[in-house]
Structure 1
Amino acid sequence: MAGSWRAKAQAGGMLLAILGWVSSCVTTFVPLWKSLNLDLNELEVWTMGLWQVCIAREEGAVECRAHGSFLALPPELRISRLLMCLSNGLGLLGCLLAAPGLEGWRACEDKPGLKRWLLLAGGAAFGTAGMATLAPISWVAYNTVLDFWDDTVPDIVPRWEFGEATFLGWFAGAFLATGGLLLACSARSTRTAMLPAPASGAAHSLPVRITLLYSQ
């Protein structure tokens, strides 16, 4: 029963983690973190990402322009770039570590302790990747809300709103964190199952030896 639970937890955790990692990679590079609709020109929609700004026109044409110098970017975009790239790297590392530790994977079959530690390390990498994804997404979303409700800006000025990548990033971070937690819990369960049971005669041998000593 415990083995079946571990296998299901590992399969579900790995699936969620990989889905979250792929979604995080997509979130990193798509220019859809923010969107801007101009009331004066409804034929154009502006979108912004970590790397470029794009203009989508009604006829279907899309024109993108990369951001300027890295040092000229706002702090939220600079740190978000670093954290998202870190998340992508940790997600890849988690895949490489957790895969050999899965039950049914033939690697390290003769070393159950190593498989458990690989699974635990992979789960930790996925969990850290999830936090590294949620942090920049939430930071950018928070600043977007502050700018949207800024009373010092006239109402006629267009405001940036959430883009599709914001919601995708939240799901990606949640999937990574949940998948990593499931893998770590299954690794802990594997460790509990590996503990040797006490010998049946060990509990009775001590009283017998004490009796013999007193009889002498």
Structure 2
Amino acid sequence: MAGSWQAKAQAGGMLLALLGWVSSCVTTVVPLWKSLSLDLNELEVWTMGLWQVCIAHEEGAVECRAHGSFLALPPELRVSRLLMCLSNGLGLLGALLAAAGLEGWRSCQDRPGLKQRLLLAGAAAFGVAALATLAPVSWVAYNTVLDFWDDTVPDIVPRWEFGEATFLGWFAGAFLAAGGLLLACSARSARATTAGHAARRGERQGLRPSRRPRERL
């Protein structure tokens, strides 16, 4: 029963973590972190991402231009680039480590302790990847709110608003955190189960009667 729960928890955690990792990669690439609609020209919608700025026209055409110098970017975009790339790398590392530690995987079957450590390491990598995703997305969202409600900017000036990638990044971080937590819980449960089996085996061996031959008188 415990093994069945562990297998289901590992499968669910792996699925959530992979979904979060893919969503984090998409969030890193797409130019949809911010959106801007011009009141004077409603036929165009501006969107901004970590790597480029795009203009979507009413007829469906999209024009994109990459950002200039890295040093010329706002601090939140520079840090967001680094953290999102770190998150994507940690997500890939966590997937490889956790996959090797799954119960259904045949690697290290004779070394259950190693499999549990690999699973915990993968869960930790997913947890750090979640933080590395949530931090930049929340920072950019916070600055967007501050700029939107800035009283020093005239009301006629268009304001940047949340883009779709902001919400996708929040979901990605939540999925990564939930998946890592499930994997960590299943690894801890597997360790406790293994320790219990070892203790019971030791007790049975201790209670087993000795079969040494009797000494003759």
How many residue pairs end up in the alignment? Answer: 203
Which residue does the alignment assign to 2:36? 36
Superposed CA offset, 1:100-153 (max 9, x none): 110111111111011000000000000110010000000000000000000000
Percent identity over the alignment is 85
Which residue does the alignment assign to 1:45? 45
* Match runs of 1:160-175 below 5 Å: 160-175=160-175
Superposed CA offset, 1:157-192 (max 9, x none): 000000000000000000001100100110000100
| 3-state secondary structure, aligned to 1:197 | helix
Which residue does the alignment assign to 2:212? none
Ranges in structure 1 where 5+ consecutive residues have no aligned partner: 204-216
Aligned counterparts of 1:41 and 1:47: Cα–Cα separation in 2? 15
Which residue does the alignment assign to 1:124? 124
Of stretches 189-198 and 52-61 in structure 1, the one that deviates more from structure 2 is 189-198
* Match runs of 1:11-22 below 5 Å: 11-22=11-22
| 3-state secondary structure, aligned to 2:199 | coil
* Match runs of 1:42-81 below 5 Å: 42-81=42-81
1:84: how far off? 0.1
Ranges in structure 2 where 5+ consecutive residues have no aligned partner: 208-217
Which residue does the alignment assign to 2:4? 4
Are 1:147 and 2:147 counterparts? yes
Aligned counterparts of 1:76 and 1:116: Cα–Cα separation in 2? 37
Instruction: Give the alignment's TM-score, normalised by structure 1.
Output: 0.92
Aligned counterparts of 2:205 and 2:42: Cα–Cα separation in 1? 83
1:37: how far off? 0.3
Superposed CA offset, 1:32-90 (max 9, x none): 00000000000000000000000000011100000010011110000000000000000
1:197: how far off? 2.1
1:202: how far off? 5.6
Aligned counterparts of 2:57 and 2:205: Cα–Cα separation in 1? 81
Question: Which consecutive segments of 4 or more residues in structure 1 shift more than 3 A?
Answer: 200-203
C-alpha RMSD over aligned residues: 1.1
Which residue does the alignment assign to 2:215? none
Which residue does the alignment assign to 1:197? 199
